[in-house]
Amino acid sequence: MDEGQARKVLEQGLSKADLLGRRVLVLTPDGTRSGPMPMLFRLFAELLLPRVAKLEFLIALGTHQPLSEAAQNRLFGISAAERAGKYAGISIHNHHWERPETFTRIGTIAAGEIEELSGGLLRQDVPVALNRLIRDYDHLILYGPVFPHEVAGFSGGHKYFFPGIAGAEIINFTHWLGALITNYQIIGRQDTPVRAVIERAAAMVEKPATGVCSVVEGDGLTDLFVGPVAEAWRQAAARAAEKHIRWVEEPYSLVISVMPEMYDDLWTGAKGMYKMEPAVAEGGEVIIFAPHIREVSYTHGKILDQIGYHVRDYFLKQWDRFRHYPGGVLAHSTHLKGMGRFEHGKEEPRVKVTLATGIPRERCDKLSLGYRDPRELRLAEFEGREKEGILVVHRAGEILYRLNSQREVKSGE
Protein backbone atom coordinates (compact mmCIF):
# COMPACT_ATOMS: atom_id res chain seq x y z
CA MET A 1 0.00 0.00 0.00
CA ASP A 2 1.64 3.24 -1.13
CA GLU A 3 1.14 6.69 0.38
CA GLY A 4 -1.61 7.60 -2.07
CA GLN A 5 -3.61 4.48 -1.23
CA ALA A 6 -3.08 5.01 2.50
CA ARG A 7 -4.18 8.62 2.18
CA LYS A 8 -7.41 7.59 0.48
CA VAL A 9 -8.29 4.99 3.15
CA LEU A 10 -7.41 7.36 5.98
CA GLU A 11 -9.30 10.27 4.46
CA GLN A 12 -12.43 8.17 3.92
CA GLY A 13 -12.29 6.76 7.43
CA LEU A 14 -11.66 10.06 9.19
CA SER A 15 -14.41 11.79 7.18
CA LYS A 16 -16.94 9.74 9.15
CA ALA A 17 -15.79 11.22 12.46
CA ASP A 18 -17.03 14.57 13.75
CA LEU A 19 -13.67 16.36 13.76
CA LEU A 20 -14.43 19.82 12.36
CA GLY A 21 -13.24 22.40 14.88
CA ARG A 22 -12.43 19.68 17.41
CA ARG A 23 -9.35 19.20 19.57
CA VAL A 24 -7.80 15.90 18.46
CA LEU A 25 -5.19 13.74 20.20
CA VAL A 26 -3.48 10.95 18.25
CA LEU A 27 -2.02 8.05 20.26
CA THR A 28 0.92 6.34 18.55
CA PRO A 29 3.44 3.59 19.29
CA ASP A 30 7.08 4.27 20.09
CA GLY A 31 10.08 3.02 18.13
CA THR A 32 9.65 -0.61 19.26
CA ARG A 33 6.93 -1.18 16.66
CA SER A 34 7.48 -1.51 12.93
CA GLY A 35 5.58 0.50 10.38
CA PRO A 36 5.65 3.70 8.32
CA MET A 37 5.17 6.09 11.23
CA PRO A 38 6.65 9.06 9.30
CA MET A 39 4.13 8.57 6.49
CA LEU A 40 1.22 8.32 8.93
CA PHE A 41 2.39 11.43 10.77
CA ARG A 42 2.47 13.38 7.49
CA LEU A 43 -0.98 12.12 6.52
CA PHE A 44 -2.53 12.91 9.90
CA ALA A 45 -1.09 16.43 9.70
CA GLU A 46 -2.16 16.95 6.09
CA LEU A 47 -5.70 15.67 6.57
CA LEU A 48 -6.45 17.03 10.04
CA LEU A 49 -4.71 20.38 10.45
CA PRO A 50 -7.12 22.16 8.04
CA ARG A 51 -10.15 20.72 9.89
CA VAL A 52 -9.40 20.63 13.59
CA ALA A 53 -8.91 23.27 16.27
CA LYS A 54 -5.91 21.47 17.73
CA LEU A 55 -3.85 18.42 16.73
CA GLU A 56 -1.40 16.81 19.13
CA PHE A 57 0.32 13.44 19.52
CA LEU A 58 0.84 11.30 22.62
CA ILE A 59 3.37 8.47 22.40
CA ALA A 60 1.77 5.48 24.12
CA LEU A 61 4.87 4.22 25.89
CA GLY A 62 3.27 1.95 28.46
CA THR A 63 6.22 1.54 30.84
CA HIS A 64 8.87 2.11 28.15
CA GLN A 65 11.36 4.95 28.52
CA PRO A 66 10.35 8.46 27.36
CA LEU A 67 11.72 9.67 24.03
CA SER A 68 14.00 12.67 23.73
CA GLU A 69 12.98 15.39 21.30
CA ALA A 70 15.51 14.05 18.79
CA ALA A 71 14.12 10.51 19.18
CA GLN A 72 10.58 11.83 18.69
CA ASN A 73 11.71 13.55 15.50
CA ARG A 74 13.25 10.30 14.22
CA LEU A 75 10.07 8.38 15.09
CA PHE A 76 7.89 10.77 13.11
CA GLY A 77 10.41 11.37 10.33
CA ILE A 78 10.70 15.12 10.79
CA SER A 79 13.66 17.44 11.17
CA ALA A 80 14.14 19.90 14.01
CA ALA A 81 13.54 22.68 11.49
CA GLU A 82 10.25 21.12 10.32
CA ARG A 83 9.13 20.68 13.90
CA ALA A 84 9.84 24.33 14.64
CA GLY A 85 8.32 25.49 11.35
CA LYS A 86 5.86 23.44 9.30
CA TYR A 87 4.66 21.44 12.31
CA ALA A 88 5.08 24.11 14.98
CA GLY A 89 1.39 23.92 15.87
CA ILE A 90 1.59 20.22 16.73
CA SER A 91 2.72 19.27 20.23
CA ILE A 92 4.21 15.81 20.83
CA HIS A 93 3.99 14.33 24.32
CA ASN A 94 5.53 11.34 26.07
CA HIS A 95 3.40 9.19 28.36
CA HIS A 96 4.89 9.08 31.87
CA TRP A 97 3.61 5.95 33.60
CA GLU A 98 5.74 6.62 36.69
CA ARG A 99 4.22 10.03 37.51
CA PRO A 100 0.97 9.62 39.49
CA GLU A 101 0.12 13.30 39.06
CA THR A 102 -0.24 12.79 35.29
CA PHE A 103 -3.25 10.44 35.60
CA THR A 104 -6.99 10.74 35.89
CA ARG A 105 -9.02 7.96 37.50
CA ILE A 106 -11.89 6.96 35.19
CA GLY A 107 -13.37 4.07 37.16
CA THR A 108 -12.91 0.65 38.73
CA ILE A 109 -13.67 -2.79 37.38
CA ALA A 110 -15.24 -4.60 40.34
CA ALA A 111 -13.88 -7.90 41.62
CA GLY A 112 -16.96 -9.87 40.58
CA GLU A 113 -16.70 -8.64 37.02
CA ILE A 114 -12.96 -9.35 36.96
CA GLU A 115 -13.67 -12.90 38.07
CA GLU A 116 -16.08 -13.32 35.16
CA LEU A 117 -13.81 -11.68 32.58
CA SER A 118 -10.76 -13.66 33.69
CA GLY A 119 -12.53 -16.99 33.63
CA GLY A 120 -12.21 -17.29 37.39
CA LEU A 121 -8.43 -16.86 37.47
CA LEU A 122 -8.46 -13.64 39.49
CA ARG A 123 -10.91 -11.81 41.73
CA GLN A 124 -9.95 -8.27 42.74
CA ASP A 125 -10.98 -4.68 42.15
CA VAL A 126 -8.93 -3.10 39.35
CA PRO A 127 -8.62 0.71 39.35
CA VAL A 128 -8.60 2.20 35.86
CA ALA A 129 -6.53 5.34 35.28
CA LEU A 130 -5.41 7.04 32.07
CA ASN A 131 -3.13 9.90 31.15
CA ARG A 132 -5.00 13.04 32.14
CA LEU A 133 -4.12 14.69 28.84
CA ILE A 134 -7.14 12.98 27.28
CA ARG A 135 -9.38 15.37 29.25
CA ASP A 136 -8.13 18.27 27.10
CA TYR A 137 -9.36 16.82 23.79
CA ASP A 138 -12.68 16.21 22.08
CA HIS A 139 -11.68 13.20 19.98
CA LEU A 140 -9.02 10.51 20.32
CA ILE A 141 -7.37 8.62 17.45
CA LEU A 142 -5.61 5.36 18.26
CA TYR A 143 -3.01 4.51 15.63
CA GLY A 144 -0.78 1.46 15.61
CA PRO A 145 0.15 -1.81 13.93
CA VAL A 146 -1.48 -5.10 14.91
CA PHE A 147 0.72 -8.13 15.59
CA PRO A 148 0.34 -11.37 17.54
CA HIS A 149 0.99 -10.41 21.17
CA GLU A 150 2.12 -12.35 24.22
CA VAL A 151 -0.21 -10.69 26.74
CA ALA A 152 -3.38 -9.74 24.87
CA GLY A 153 -3.32 -12.21 21.97
CA PHE A 154 -2.99 -9.44 19.39
CA SER A 155 -1.63 -5.94 19.88
CA GLY A 156 -3.30 -2.72 18.78
CA GLY A 157 -6.73 -1.19 19.14
CA HIS A 158 -7.66 -0.25 22.69
CA LYS A 159 -4.30 -1.60 23.82
CA TYR A 160 -3.07 1.90 23.04
CA PHE A 161 -5.12 2.94 26.08
CA PHE A 162 -4.17 -0.07 28.20
CA PRO A 163 -1.22 -0.30 28.72
CA GLY A 164 -0.30 2.47 26.25
CA ILE A 165 -1.30 5.49 28.36
CA ALA A 166 -2.56 3.69 31.46
CA GLY A 167 -1.74 3.72 35.14
CA ALA A 168 0.34 1.02 36.79
CA GLU A 169 -2.58 -0.87 38.41
CA ILE A 170 -4.27 -2.02 35.21
CA ILE A 171 -0.93 -2.51 33.42
CA ASN A 172 0.26 -4.86 36.15
CA PHE A 173 -3.09 -6.61 36.36
CA THR A 174 -3.51 -7.35 32.65
CA HIS A 175 0.07 -8.52 32.26
CA TRP A 176 -0.14 -10.86 35.23
CA LEU A 177 -3.45 -12.23 33.98
CA GLY A 178 -1.76 -12.94 30.65
CA ALA A 179 1.11 -14.65 32.46
CA LEU A 180 -1.28 -16.92 34.36
CA ILE A 181 -2.79 -18.04 31.06
CA THR A 182 0.73 -18.21 29.51
CA ASN A 183 2.12 -16.81 26.29
CA TYR A 184 1.98 -20.30 24.77
CA GLN A 185 -1.81 -20.38 25.11
CA ILE A 186 -2.68 -16.75 24.44
CA ILE A 187 -0.47 -15.43 21.64
CA GLY A 188 -2.17 -15.15 18.26
CA ARG A 189 -5.75 -15.39 19.56
CA GLN A 190 -8.24 -12.56 19.12
CA ASP A 191 -10.62 -13.31 21.96
CA THR A 192 -8.75 -13.64 25.25
CA PRO A 193 -9.51 -12.77 28.88
CA VAL A 194 -6.89 -10.02 28.73
CA ARG A 195 -8.52 -8.46 25.67
CA ALA A 196 -11.89 -8.70 27.44
CA VAL A 197 -10.51 -6.69 30.39
CA ILE A 198 -8.99 -4.12 28.01
CA GLU A 199 -12.31 -3.68 26.19
CA ARG A 200 -14.20 -3.37 29.49
CA ALA A 201 -11.81 -0.67 30.68
CA ALA A 202 -12.03 1.12 27.32
CA ALA A 203 -15.80 1.35 27.74
CA MET A 204 -15.12 3.72 30.66
CA VAL A 205 -13.42 6.27 28.40
CA GLU A 206 -16.02 8.98 27.84
CA LYS A 207 -14.45 10.40 24.71
CA PRO A 208 -15.24 9.48 21.10
CA ALA A 209 -12.38 7.54 19.55
CA THR A 210 -11.39 6.32 16.10
CA GLY A 211 -9.15 3.35 15.44
CA VAL A 212 -6.51 3.49 12.73
CA CYS A 213 -5.14 -0.04 12.74
CA SER A 214 -2.41 -1.12 10.35
CA VAL A 215 -0.89 -4.37 9.20
CA VAL A 216 2.74 -3.87 8.26
CA GLU A 217 5.77 -5.61 6.83
CA GLY A 218 8.93 -3.97 8.10
CA ASP A 219 8.44 -0.28 7.45
CA GLY A 220 5.92 -0.94 4.69
CA LEU A 221 2.14 -0.85 4.97
CA THR A 222 0.05 -3.73 3.63
CA ASP A 223 -3.39 -2.92 5.09
CA LEU A 224 -5.08 -0.04 6.90
CA PHE A 225 -8.42 -0.17 8.70
CA VAL A 226 -10.15 2.97 9.97
CA GLY A 227 -13.33 3.16 12.02
CA PRO A 228 -14.71 2.42 15.49
CA VAL A 229 -11.71 1.16 17.46
CA ALA A 230 -12.87 -2.38 18.24
CA GLU A 231 -14.15 -2.89 14.70
CA ALA A 232 -11.00 -1.61 12.99
CA TRP A 233 -8.85 -3.66 15.36
CA ARG A 234 -10.77 -6.88 14.71
CA GLN A 235 -10.39 -6.45 10.96
CA ALA A 236 -6.67 -5.79 11.33
CA ALA A 237 -6.20 -8.74 13.71
CA ALA A 238 -7.82 -11.12 11.22
CA ARG A 239 -5.48 -9.86 8.51
CA ALA A 240 -2.47 -9.98 10.85
CA ALA A 241 -3.29 -13.61 11.63
CA GLU A 242 -2.94 -14.37 7.93
CA LYS A 243 0.16 -12.25 7.50
CA HIS A 244 2.12 -12.70 10.72
CA ILE A 245 1.61 -16.32 11.77
CA ARG A 246 3.82 -19.01 10.20
CA TRP A 247 2.41 -22.49 10.53
CA VAL A 248 5.00 -25.30 10.61
CA GLU A 249 4.64 -29.07 10.68
CA GLU A 250 7.37 -30.05 13.15
CA PRO A 251 8.79 -28.25 16.19
CA TYR A 252 12.34 -26.93 16.14
CA SER A 253 15.03 -28.09 18.55
CA LEU A 254 17.03 -24.87 18.16
CA VAL A 255 15.88 -21.39 17.19
CA ILE A 256 18.17 -18.39 16.86
CA SER A 257 16.15 -15.17 17.02
CA VAL A 258 18.14 -12.33 15.46
CA MET A 259 16.73 -9.19 17.02
CA PRO A 260 16.61 -5.84 15.19
CA GLU A 261 18.05 -2.78 16.89
CA MET A 262 14.63 -1.27 17.54
CA TYR A 263 14.61 -3.58 20.59
CA ASP A 264 17.16 -1.89 22.82
CA ASP A 265 16.83 -4.00 25.97
CA LEU A 266 15.77 -7.53 26.89
CA TRP A 267 12.36 -6.24 28.05
CA THR A 268 11.52 -5.58 24.40
CA GLY A 269 13.94 -8.06 22.81
CA ALA A 270 12.24 -10.92 24.68
CA LYS A 271 9.78 -11.02 21.78
CA GLY A 272 12.37 -13.28 20.16
CA MET A 273 11.22 -15.95 22.62
CA TYR A 274 7.53 -15.06 22.80
CA LYS A 275 6.98 -15.43 19.05
CA MET A 276 8.93 -18.71 18.83
CA GLU A 277 7.93 -20.61 21.99
CA PRO A 278 4.90 -22.43 20.51
CA ALA A 279 7.06 -23.91 17.72
CA VAL A 280 9.96 -25.13 19.88
CA ALA A 281 10.19 -28.76 20.97
CA GLU A 282 10.28 -29.71 24.64
CA GLY A 283 13.92 -29.64 25.70
CA GLY A 284 14.74 -27.28 22.82
CA GLU A 285 16.53 -23.95 22.96
CA VAL A 286 15.88 -20.38 21.88
CA ILE A 287 18.94 -18.16 21.51
CA ILE A 288 18.24 -14.43 21.50
CA PHE A 289 20.99 -13.00 19.31
CA ALA A 290 21.29 -9.26 19.93
CA PRO A 291 24.87 -8.04 20.47
CA HIS A 292 23.51 -4.47 20.72
CA ILE A 293 21.39 -5.25 23.82
CA ARG A 294 23.35 -4.45 26.97
CA GLU A 295 20.57 -4.00 29.52
CA VAL A 296 17.82 -6.26 30.86
CA SER A 297 15.33 -3.41 31.23
CA TYR A 298 16.01 0.30 31.40
CA THR A 299 12.83 0.67 33.44
CA HIS A 300 12.60 -2.51 35.53
CA GLY A 301 16.16 -3.89 35.55
CA LYS A 302 16.68 -3.60 39.31
CA ILE A 303 13.57 -5.66 40.05
CA LEU A 304 14.49 -8.30 37.47
CA ASP A 305 17.94 -8.61 39.05
CA GLN A 306 16.14 -9.47 42.30
CA ILE A 307 13.61 -11.98 40.95
CA GLY A 308 15.38 -13.44 37.90
CA TYR A 309 13.58 -15.28 35.10
CA HIS A 310 11.37 -18.22 36.05
CA VAL A 311 8.42 -20.32 34.95
CA ARG A 312 4.98 -19.28 36.18
CA ASP A 313 4.67 -21.90 38.92
CA TYR A 314 7.99 -20.86 40.45
CA PHE A 315 6.21 -17.66 41.46
CA LEU A 316 2.78 -19.13 42.21
CA LYS A 317 4.11 -21.83 44.52
CA GLN A 318 6.17 -19.26 46.45
CA TRP A 319 3.61 -16.48 46.27
CA ASP A 320 4.26 -15.04 49.73
CA ARG A 321 7.82 -14.37 48.60
CA PHE A 322 6.86 -12.63 45.37
CA ARG A 323 3.40 -11.12 45.88
CA HIS A 324 4.75 -7.61 46.52
CA TYR A 325 6.52 -7.36 43.17
CA PRO A 326 4.74 -5.62 40.25
CA GLY A 327 2.64 -8.05 38.26
CA GLY A 328 3.90 -6.62 34.98
CA VAL A 329 7.50 -7.43 35.87
CA LEU A 330 6.66 -10.94 37.10
CA ALA A 331 4.76 -11.44 33.86
CA HIS A 332 7.73 -10.44 31.70
CA SER A 333 9.93 -12.80 33.69
CA THR A 334 7.73 -15.84 33.19
CA HIS A 335 6.84 -14.95 29.60
CA LEU A 336 10.52 -15.00 28.66
CA LYS A 337 11.27 -18.17 30.60
CA GLY A 338 8.28 -19.89 29.03
CA MET A 339 6.22 -22.89 30.06
CA GLY A 340 7.59 -25.33 32.63
CA ARG A 341 7.21 -26.99 36.00
CA PHE A 342 8.27 -26.19 39.55
CA GLU A 343 8.00 -29.17 41.87
CA HIS A 344 9.79 -30.06 45.11
CA GLY A 345 11.90 -26.92 44.83
CA LYS A 346 13.18 -27.78 41.36
CA GLU A 347 12.45 -25.71 38.27
CA GLU A 348 12.14 -27.45 34.90
CA PRO A 349 11.56 -25.06 31.98
CA ARG A 350 10.13 -26.62 28.82
CA VAL A 351 12.60 -24.64 26.68
CA LYS A 352 16.07 -23.30 27.45
CA VAL A 353 16.45 -19.56 26.85
CA THR A 354 19.97 -18.35 26.07
CA LEU A 355 21.17 -14.79 25.61
CA ALA A 356 23.80 -13.98 22.99
CA THR A 357 23.77 -10.28 23.79
CA GLY A 358 25.92 -7.62 25.41
CA ILE A 359 24.66 -8.74 28.84
CA PRO A 360 27.60 -10.51 30.57
CA ARG A 361 27.66 -14.16 31.61
CA GLU A 362 27.66 -13.36 35.32
CA ARG A 363 24.41 -11.44 35.07
CA CYS A 364 22.81 -14.13 32.89
CA ASP A 365 23.73 -16.73 35.52
CA LYS A 366 22.11 -14.67 38.27
CA LEU A 367 19.00 -14.21 36.14
CA SER A 368 18.74 -17.99 35.51
CA LEU A 369 19.27 -17.54 31.77
CA GLY A 370 21.77 -19.25 29.49
CA TYR A 371 24.73 -17.38 28.00
CA ARG A 372 26.50 -17.50 24.63
CA ASP A 373 29.22 -15.12 23.54
CA PRO A 374 27.69 -13.39 20.49
CA ARG A 375 31.17 -12.95 18.99
CA GLU A 376 31.55 -16.72 18.81
CA LEU A 377 28.13 -17.46 17.32
CA ARG A 378 28.44 -17.91 13.56
CA LEU A 379 24.94 -17.54 12.16
CA ALA A 380 26.00 -18.90 8.78
CA GLU A 381 26.68 -22.28 10.40
CA PHE A 382 23.01 -22.57 11.37
CA GLU A 383 21.34 -21.17 8.25
CA GLY A 384 19.39 -23.48 5.94
CA ARG A 385 19.12 -26.34 8.44
CA GLU A 386 15.36 -26.35 9.00
CA LYS A 387 15.13 -30.04 8.11
CA GLU A 388 17.48 -30.71 11.04
CA GLY A 389 15.16 -28.81 13.38
CA ILE A 390 17.32 -25.67 13.41
CA LEU A 391 15.90 -22.28 12.44
CA VAL A 392 17.47 -18.83 12.18
CA VAL A 393 14.88 -16.04 12.24
CA HIS A 394 16.10 -12.67 11.02
CA ARG A 395 14.31 -9.56 12.26
CA ALA A 396 12.64 -11.72 14.88
CA GLY A 397 9.99 -10.44 17.26
CA GLU A 398 6.96 -9.82 15.06
CA ILE A 399 6.22 -13.06 13.19
CA LEU A 400 4.62 -15.78 15.33
CA TYR A 401 5.52 -19.42 14.68
CA ARG A 402 3.04 -22.15 15.60
CA LEU A 403 2.58 -25.83 14.85
CA ASN A 404 -0.13 -26.95 12.44
CA SER A 405 -1.41 -29.21 15.21
CA GLN A 406 -2.27 -26.04 17.20
CA ARG A 407 -4.12 -24.41 14.31
CA GLU A 408 -7.74 -25.18 15.26
CA VAL A 409 -7.74 -23.51 18.65
CA LYS A 410 -4.90 -21.03 18.37
CA SER A 411 -5.48 -19.14 15.12
CA GLY A 412 -6.63 -15.54 14.98
CA GLU A 413 -9.87 -16.50 13.25
In 3-state terms, what secondary structure has residue 373? coil
End residue of a domain, out of 179, 211, 244: 244
Q: How far apart are CA 400 and CA 156, in angstroms?
A: 16
pLDDT at position 63 is: 83
pLDDT at 6 over 60: yes
Domain extent at residue 180 = 3-244
d(Cα 27, Cα 32) in Å, to the nearest integer? Answer: 15
Q: Could you tell me if 31 and 177 lie in one domain?
A: yes
Q: Read off the pLDDT of each residue in 308-327 and give the average, rounded to a whole number.
A: 97
pLDDT at 409 over 60: no
Could you report the per-residue pLDDT of 65-91, keeping only the tens digit for each?
Answer: 899 999 999 999 999 999 999 999 999
pLDDT attached to residue 64? 84
| CB contact set of 125 (below 8 Å; sequence gap of 6+) | 108, 109, 110, 111, 114
Question: Of 286, 285, 340, nearest to 316 (Cα)?
Answer: 340
pLDDT in tens, 13-45: 999 999 999 999 999 998 777 789 999 999 999
Look at residue 410 and tell me whether its pLDDT is greater than 90: no
For the domain that residue 36 is a member of, what is the CATH number? 3.40.50.11440
What pTM was estimated for this model as a whole?
Answer: 0.92
Angle at 222 between CA 77 and CA 141, to 5 degrees: 60
Q: What pLDDT score was predicted for residue 21? A: 97
pLDDT of residue 408: 63
One domain, residues 192 and 96: yes
Within this chain, do residues 223 and 277 fall inside the same structural domain, yes or no?
no
190 and 306 in a common domain:
no
Distance CA 131, CA 165 (A): 6
Nearest by Cα to 284 from 330, 338, 232: 338
Last residue of a domain, one of 217, 244, 271: 244
Residue 411 has pLDDT above 70, yes or no: no
Q: Which residues contact 179 (CB under 8 A, 6 or more apart)?
A: 151, 312, 327, 330, 331, 334, 335
CA angle 40–257–289, rounded 5-degree value? 105
184-242, pLDDT tens digit by residue?
999 999 999 999 999 999 999 999 999 999 999 878 899 999 999 999 999 999 999 99
> What are the pLDDT digits (tens) for 328-350?
999 999 999 999 999 999 999 99
- 170 shares its domain with 208: yes
In this structure, the answer to whether residues 58 and 166 fall within a common structural domain is yes
Same domain, 190 and 323: no
User: Are 72 and 211 part of one and the same domain?
Assistant: yes
Output the pLDDT for position 131: 97
pLDDT at 218: 79
Tell me how many domains the chain contains.
2
Q: Are 322 and 314 in contact, with CB atoms under 8 Å apart?
A: no
Please indicate, yes or no, whether residues 127 and 27 belong to a single structural domain of this protein.
Answer: yes
- Helix ranges (H only) for 289-376 are 301-307, 312-316, 319-322, 327-337, 361-367
Give the pLDDT confidence of 119-131 residue by residue, as tens digits: 999 999 999 999 9
Q: Which of residues 178, 211, 244 is at a domain's end?
A: 244
Find the CATH number of the domain harbouring 330: 3.90.226.30
The confidence band for 406, taking pLDDT boundaries of 50, 70 and 90, is: confident
* 94 and 15 inside one domain: yes
What pLDDT, in 10s, does the model give residues 131-168? 999 999 999 999 999 999 999 999 999 999 999 999 99
pLDDT band at 289 (very low <50, low <70, confident <90, very high): very high
Same-domain pairing of 214 and 278: no
Alpha-carbon distance of 309 to 218, in angstroms, equals 30
Is residue 301 domain-shared with residue 219, that is, in the same domain?
A: no
